[in-house]
Amino acid sequence: MKQNHYEVIVIGGGISGAALFYELAKYTDIKKIALLEKYDALSKLNSKGTSNSQTIHCGDIETNYTLQKAINVKRTAKMVEKYCLQYGYENKFMFAHQKMAIGVGEKEVAYMLKRYEDFKELFPYLEIFSKEKLKEIEPKLIFDADGKERSEDIVGVGVQSGEWSTVDYGAMSESLVENAMKIEDKQTDLFLNSQVTSIQKLGNMHVVQTKDHTFTADFVVVNAGAHSLYLAHRMGHGTDYGCLPVAGSFYLTTKKILNGKVYMVQHPKLPFAALHGDPDILANGFTRFGPTALVLPKLERYTSGTYVDFIKTLRFDKNIAKIFKDLFTDNDIRSYILRNFLFEIPYFNKKFFLKDARKIVPSLQEEDIEYAKGFGGVRPQVLDKKNQKLMLGEASINPGTGILFNMTPSPGATSCLGNGERDAKIVCDFLGKQFYRETFEKDLVV
């Protein structure tokens, strides 16, 4: 047992687990750290480059972010940039693209112009792109299939160059673990093919069981996507929460359509991201449109099983029923859910999807897009049973006993180093260890 004892065990080798593993190794005096990943490689699920929009979400073009949320997210987004620049990863797996949010029609144009005034101090690089300017820098937003100019008013707010916008988070996860394992005077061990089957509290330690090994740890952090809540429930923690897995699908263009990222105004009632177009850095820069939002009764998108895990993690009761009723009785949300279901049905899916995507690119045709098979992941949307509502953003369960459970839907990848900072401080406080704040801020904080 002593041979497999660690001061800290991190469960889950996606971007969140990898970031914490790195920060514990580099910015604390903790000596023995293990990272357990259930699959044969890191970032096989939501952090994989094809499972997300590859975006550094800093709040400048995400119209569903309040000013305060943008302030918070900008800090963590800059950490991703500084980490990549520190190791020379720019133009390897971090890239700069033109990016903007567009308003279409009188109401949205007015909203975007007002938002620009509210956010320009926080993001001084933002510019307003008139219809005439858009003809020059992003012409596909303006002209239909016949070459005619769209009749609606349109405005873009964004930046043409100079801002890092895009990351392959799967590659970043691998770099974080690789760099952590190079740090001298630390034991930083990675265990692949190590699915955790149980976690138990034993005195001052936790016993972590996998199929082949038994580990013990003074502190455990679970960053296992939707399975974080599953493991919490098995220990009796977080029972006031349920998990609603929402899958996001994408459509890839068959040629280069857009020059950069184009986001739309978020519908205020909808809890999921509005459709956007991104240059896919793993597909020759061709535009990827998405995500759709499809509720699935499983915790992992493209792996077999996890249906029973979903039922256990949902923990259906009258509170969950009330949340579902509120969601499905709202006309806007109900029609949104139905439309996104139709996006998954072969033959019909392109036709329905085009109606939405043409708000961005009026000239888009069926032959220009194809359903991106195998793309997209599952985001663990947390249901708050106590307050009978769907929670937006991240959730963390800390029973105060030396274990944390994190659920990180978007923008979890962008916030990985910021969340790691938070958790590293919690771990150090609990264990009486030191967090090297000054070095951390010098390296990663703008």
* pLDDT per 10-residue tile (average), the chain, 446 residues: 85 97 98 98 94 95 94 96 98 97 97 98 98 97 94 97 96 98 97 97 96 96 95 96 91 95 87 87 95 90 90 95 91 85 87 93 95 91 93 88 91 94 98 98 96
What confidence score (pLDDT) does residue 216 get?
Answer: 97
Residues in Cβ contact with 105 at an 8 Å cutoff, skipping those fewer than 6 apart: 152, 153
Q: What fold does the segment set 2-98+161-444 form as a domain?
A: FAD/NAD(P)-binding domain (3.50.50)
What confidence score (pLDDT) does residue 1 get?
Answer: 45
What confidence score (pLDDT) does residue 88 get?
Answer: 98
What confidence score (pLDDT) does residue 340 get?
Answer: 85
Burial class of residue 388, CB neighbours in 10 A (0-12, 13-18, 19+):
middle
Instruction: Tell which residue, 376, 423, 377, 393, has the closest CA to residue 22.
Output: 423
Point out which residues pair with 407 in neighbouring strands: 395
pTM of the shown model: 0.95
Residues in the chain: 446
What confidence score (pLDDT) does residue 23 get?
Answer: 98
What confidence score (pLDDT) does residue 190 get?
Answer: 98
CA angle 50, 419, 184 (to 5 degrees): 90
Instruction: Tell which residue, 380, 94, 80, 78, has the closest CA to residue 223.
Output: 380
Per domain, the residue ranges of the chain are 2-98+161-444, 99-160
What confidence score (pLDDT) does residue 394 get?
Answer: 79
